[in-house]
A and B are shown apart, each in its own frame.
Chain A
Amino acid sequence: MNAFTQHTGIVAPLDRVNVDTDAIIPKQYLKSIKRSGFGPNAFDDWRYLEPGEPGMDHSQRTKNPDFILNQPPYDRATILLARQNFGCGSSREHAVWALTDFGFRVVIAPSFADIFFNNSFKTGLLPIALPEATVDQLFQEALAETGYALTVDLAAQRIVKPDGAVIPFEVDAFRRHCLLEGLDDIGLTLQHADAIRAFEAKRRVEMPWLFLNR
């Protein structure tokens, strides 16, 4: 996993509620068996004017000039600002891969869907939930000033605005630790392999029907 400590970047305001993972990365791109290369197709239906298919040269497609991520400097944005219930819908982790591949390191929204939120941490994308009014304020400031940038400090759990004002945020301690260190969950869990085996042995006795052993 990519470690995350501190990050400064341009904020792209995506003014929509309920941005679902189908919108973040449409289904045709899920046919890929890889974990990378999804960036050109992040928000594909909104970003390009003609329909896209895997295998196309996406740099040759017509970009929708009205879509925020096509407007400089937001094409270089690394912090995404969105409305409530971001990442709802499908469990596809491809949505996180598409966002990070595009260049995003942070998503700020009033609320996130559970699975997306969870998936984000696995690829080093930091989802930050802030109160609705704070997000609203950020929207106003980001829309008012082209190139509006924020600094996100995970260790200190705070966001610093261009004027120096500070917004504190909460992250679950264990997740923060894993993200700061770039730790691999599986490796951590396998340190408890004996506990898993012991649990399993007991379960095999109590509920033998759960073990098929074909």
Chain B
Amino acid sequence: MAAKTLYDKIFDAHIVRQQDDGTVLLYIDRHLVHEVTSPQAFEGLRLAGRQPWRVDAMLAVPDHNVPTTNRLRGIDDLVSREQVETLDRNCAEFGIQEFTMNDKRQGIVHVIGPEEGFTLPGTTIVCGDSHTSTHGAFGALAFGIGTSEVEHVMATQTLLQKRAKTLQIRVDGVLGQGVTAKDVVLAIIGTIGTAGGTGYAVEFAGSAIESLSVEGRMSVCNMAIEGGARAGMVAVDEKTIDYFRGRPFAPQGEQFEQAAAYWRTLKSDPEAVFDKVVVLAAEAIEPQVSWGTSPEMVVPVTARVPNPEDEADPVKADGMRKALAYMGLTANTPIEQIAIDKVFIGSCTNARIEDLRAAAAVIGSGKKIAANVTLAMVVPGSGLVREQAEREGLDKIFIEAGFEWREPGCSMCLAMNADRLMPGERCASTSNRNFEGRQGQGGRTHLVSPAMAAAAAMAGHFVDVRQH
């Protein structure tokens, strides 16, 4: 049998039928649903008089619109409330399991999927959300879809797909002290560009990726989409398998061992050929800070804001000038001299327990956030992450230093709820997108790791966490 990549193994295992032109009807094992991209799909089902094909393959949760304070009081914003209530109603009507807003298991859809063991290796996972790529960290084929496709999966348990090309991104070597998974993925995007992965399914590999925890791998796969790739994935190893032991939706007992035997096959064959390979040296990666309005506009913390005059491509240089103007930055400014107004530690990239531990570790006892930082907030990725952090006393470290300790949700990652930047405000953020207006109209986002965000909160400007 010909050698296969991990992507091809999973893709092939899900082909229901194939048309002559290569379009495949792909079976979908897991469908995650949130309030923003599902209402029109449910409405479509109703209008066509259709039922969901398989409700046990679905799990729903409100996350984008939910408030992160005073949740028991309900949602003040009427439009947000209606959207969340619409999800509740739709799930009740069609018999879909939902973790409602005040369920302690509620959280960001990409955090709770793995946490519950709903995400499993070898599965196809979709959600009406581009960061579905996160779940690929567990050797799954996971990708975001639009609302029409959400309806298609609901109605048929399948999707019409073309096979993607394969891109292996290998990070070889050992990561330096203070360099995290987030820095790795930002450095990758800085290298390949925001469209570098377009049309590809990416497999992240190499010793530096293997050495990451599964949560770190989630941060990397999360941002595959920021490099243009719908799906990012990492091969299964014993860390992956151990992660799922005892998770509520995961197989138990004998069935777990049966599943694990299959999961161990989920890696690219040694002779498998990728359409493209990119290699980075782990030792060369430093803590990263984005300076512009696209995730590819990123540099090491030790560097300066780039100068558009040095860019040969006129279209690119123009993009850089627009970004500098929006960000209120001058070319050649040392990154460490950029002062910040707000800090956001959260999102599906970096709101898991390890992220919160890493941020708390930087704070140090008795220290306070810098006087110029008007708001520093920590928004755990799920209710269970929040509970775990409180058991470890992390909440106290944050609160004593002057951070706000919030309830779980997407929050200021996209500012659909009340958490947002004001025009001109500058934020050190652990999220994944620094687009114009992403965290609030006129807001300026710098993407960093949790440790770098915490260090910036304490200093009031960006600092190299390795020296902190």
A-to-B contact residues, CB < 8 Å: 15-18, 20, 22-23, 26-28, 30-35, 45, 51, 54-55, 83-85, 88-94, 96, 111-115, 118-119, 122-123, 172-174, 185-186, 189-190, 192-193, 195-196, 199-200, 203, 207-214
B29 touches A91 (CB 8 A): no
Given contacts A88-B195, A185-B152, contact A16 B146 (CB under 8 A): no
Q: Are A84 and B259 in contact (CB under 8 A)?
A: no
In the complex, chain A residues whose CB is within 8 Å of the CB of B162: 172
Asked if B166 is at the interface of the complex by the 8 Å CB criterion, the answer is no
* Contacting residue for B228 out of A83, A114, A192, CB 8 A: A114
Contact A209 B255 (CB under 8 A): yes
A-chain residues with CB within 8 Å of residue B294 when the two chains form the complex: 18, 20
* B259 contacts A209, C-beta separation under 8 Å: yes
Q: How many residues of B contact A (CB 8 A)?
A: 81
| Contact B160 A91, beta carbon cutoff 8 Å | no
9 smallest CB-CB distances across A and B, nearest first, come from A209-B251, A122-B148, A93-B146, A119-B146, A33-B39, A91-B144, A91-B130, A85-B195, A93-B147
B437 near A31 (CB under 8 angstroms)?
no
A/B interface sample: 11 pairs, CB < 8 A: A16-B319, A31-B79, A31-B416, A88-B194, A88-B195, A88-B228, A89-B225, A123-B148, A192-B25, A195-B25, A210-B29
Among B16, B37, B54, B229, contact of A93 (Cβ-Cβ < 8 Å): B37
Contact B437 A189, beta carbon cutoff 8 Å: no
CA distance A103 to B447 in the complex (A): 35
The answer on a CB contact under 8 Å between A27 and B27 is no
Report whether A91 and B146 are in contact in the complex, using a CB–CB cutoff of 8 Å. Answer: yes
**Which of A18, A112, A196 is in CB contact (< 8 Å) with B25?**
A196
Partner of B156, one of A23, A113, A186: A186
Q: Is the CB of A28 within 8 A of B156?
A: no
Known contacts A17-B319, A34-B40, A185-B148; decide if A214 and B25 are in contact (CB<8 Å): no
Inter-subunit contact A113/B436 (CB<8 Å): no
Q: Which residues of chain B are near A185, meaning CB under 8 Å?
A: 148, 152, 160
Q: Is B212 an interface residue (CB 8 A)?
A: no
Question: Which of B130, B155, B258, B316 neighbours the largest number of chain A CB atoms within 10 Å of its CB?
Answer: B130
Interface segment, B80-88, B177-185, B265-273?
Answer: B80-88
Whether A208 and B156, one on each chain, are in contact in the complex, defined by CB atoms closer than 8 angstroms, is: no
Which chain B residues in 410-468 approach chain A with CB under 8 Å? 414-416, 423, 433, 435-438, 441
Distance, CA A208 to CA B251, complexed state (A): 9
For the complex, what is the distance from the CA of A68 to the CA of B225, rounded to whole Å?
29
